[in-house]
Chain A
């Protein structure tokens, strides 16, 4: 029995009935469950530079891997200053005793070579206290030097998956609304960045209000709402080419809150006419419009289930904002939120098991999750104004907008684990709102 495991299991017994548990005898493994978790200590020494020109990247890549893993709150890095061993040969036998001595449960080693703009990263993960490599063995990624951060994210995703048994989320992007200026003169423009805030690029200028961008299932297109015509209308942008077009062209009809279907062919959205807001779907190629609801109440913020068969949305048909689920063809809807307060902006998790939502109660805003039948509601955050959750590709983390109170209030992006742990801001150059997380990149 490893000392570390004993510690975790003991803590589990003392602190909570449902707690992260590391498997006792099997391979190195974090079981991510709700409750308290002791982060798993690991070491990722600077990668070895196989070529002289790789020396800088070999260090930077290790730092990004560490940032990814430690950023989850599930891992804790043993700093280089504590390391006893130096890894100087990627293929040499690892000195397990030296890593055990500093209590590194996992060790990641790697080697980097650069030829022209071609970058190759080799890496291995070790289960230190089992004196062996992690299942899966060594891997090699090849790409271009300007994609070096993506390579680091891919390494971290691989290690994360091997230790947690779940898909990773580090090699992903976030499209959001970059915000500048005071509350009564806020400038908004679309921006896209890596999930960790690196490589920000702006997709529009701030000439028109833009709202709530949403990725296509393959991450190559973005739907968003723009006031470019003077009225809110839905635009679709090919982010590779930065080409865009207006999806609905009816002059003077307000359209907003779009989302793609899982097959990327249909868009569900809200349209307001005569003061009444209802849900519609549009075939993105033919433009064919289908009305899903026709009630005098507000129906908005729709989101598809991952299998494409159902839509969750918010409606005030009961007298206050609540969550409903209906078939993708429309028809009768089933109310699923029953707690105190108001519920909005529901989003189906990529795993299909949970819904994230915004809740307002007693003047506070919360991000929460519930089962798709409305049971097991859990609030993850509380603040003056939290809203607009989006799921990480593996369904473990939620990013959202947090706006601070008062005349100097700012809008910033935050993320939180679905257990409610690891709440932290996501760094952006300016203010940010309405994040949408991409699928894992290929």
Chain B
């Protein structure tokens, strides 16, 4: 027989098992922050913080500096946190979909950090604040124009600890 010159052994395909030792939901944090516990009328409630003060600030395209409006919201957040010392917070930084994945993670980190620095400058202990960036992974609004993008470029202050445990 001519030409059958080589023999190559191919091992069988990799046996892969499903990985099942991960639990929980894929929400990756509470993007919406919900309405918050308690009554909006109760100034010490998360509901008041989220709805009356506002749990989020918005950013200009590709920017992480705080607008005047954002500073106003963060000032009110800091006053609330000074009065309600049981709470710690996690600040989530987000970007709109117009950008590459890694860059948007870094941009979200800048935005969360801007909000954190403002709160710290107003007297909130830095050990009460954690920051995390979601980049473009967790959009709130899903259309592909500026009306949605402007809502997705955000830093959201999530209340943790305190009354909600």
Q: Which residues of A contact B (CB under 8 A)?
A: 91, 122, 124, 133, 136-144, 146-147, 150-151, 154, 182-184, 186-188, 192, 199, 201-209, 211-212, 227-228, 230-232, 239-240, 242, 244, 252, 254, 256-257, 270, 272, 274-277, 298, 300-301, 314, 316, 321, 344-345, 358, 360, 363, 384-385, 387-388, 403, 405-407, 409, 434
Q: In angstroms, how far is the closest chain A Cβ from the Cβ of B114?
A: 7
On chain A, the residues within 8 Å of B133 by CB distance are 232, 254, 272
Contact A321-B25, Cβ < 8 Å, known A138-B5, A154-B8, A275-B109: no
Cβ-defined contact, A321 with B103, below 8 A: yes
22 pairs, A vs B, C-beta closer than 8 Å: A138-B5, A139-B5, A142-B9, A143-B12, A144-B12, A146-B13, A183-B142, A201-B18, A202-B18, A205-B18, A205-B19, A227-B29, A240-B16, A242-B17, A242-B18, A275-B110, A275-B131, A298-B107, A300-B106, A345-B102, A360-B98, A385-B98
Q: B3 near A387 (CB under 8 angstroms)?
A: no
**Does A230 contact B7, Cβ atoms closer than 8 Å?**
no
Question: Are B19 and A154 closer than 8 Å at their CB atoms?
Answer: no
Q: B22–A207 contact, CB under 8 A?
A: yes
Q: Does B161 contact A (CB under 8 A)?
A: no
A363 partner residues in chain B, CB cutoff 8 A = 98
Please tell me which one of the listed residues A206, A212, A406 contacts residue B102 in the complex, with CB atoms under 8 A apart: A212
Contact B97 A403 (CB under 8 A): yes
Task: List B contacts of A124 (CB < 8 A).
Answer: 3
Is there contact, CB below 8 Å, between B132 and A188? no
Residues of B within 8 A of A144 (CB): 10-12
A-contact bits for B19-62, CB 8 A (1 contact / 0 none): 11011111011000000000000000000000000000000000
Q: What residue in chain A is nearest B143 (Cβ atoms)?
A: A407
By CB atoms of chain B within 10 A, which of A137, A300, A434 has the most?
A: A300
Q: How far is the CA of A228 from the CA of B26 in the complex (A)?
A: 9
A143 x B19 contact (CB < 8 A): no
Q: Looking at chain B's contact residues, is the secondary structure mostly helix, strand, loop, or mixed? A: loop
Q: Does the CB pair A298–B10 fall under 8 Å?
A: no
- Of B8, B13, B26, B106, which is within 8 A of A139 by CB? B8
Q: Looking at chain B, what size class is its interface with the partner chain?
A: 35 or more
Listed from nearest, the 7 A-B pairs whose CB atoms lie closest are A275-B113, A137-B3, A143-B10, A138-B3, A277-B106, A272-B109, A344-B100
With most chain B CB atoms within 10 A of its CB, the pick from A154, A183, A363, A406 is A183
Q: Is B141 an interface residue (CB 8 A)?
A: yes
Asked if residues A274 and B113 are in contact (CB atoms below 8 Å), the reply is yes
Is B16 a contact of A256 with CB atoms below 8 Å? Answer: no
Contact in complex: A147, B13 (CB < 8 Å) = yes
In the bound assembly, the distance between CA atoms of A186 and B28 in angstroms comes to: 10
Report the separation of the CA atoms of residues A403 and B114 in the bound assembly, to the nearest whole angstrom: 29
Would A406 and B144 be within 8 Å (CB), given that A154-B10, A188-B26 are in contact? yes
B83 to chain A, nearest CB (A): 25
| Interface residue? B159 (CB, 8 A) | no
A137, B28: Cα distance in complex, Å: 56
**Which residues of chain B are within 8 angstroms of A256 by Cβ–Cβ distance?**
102, 105
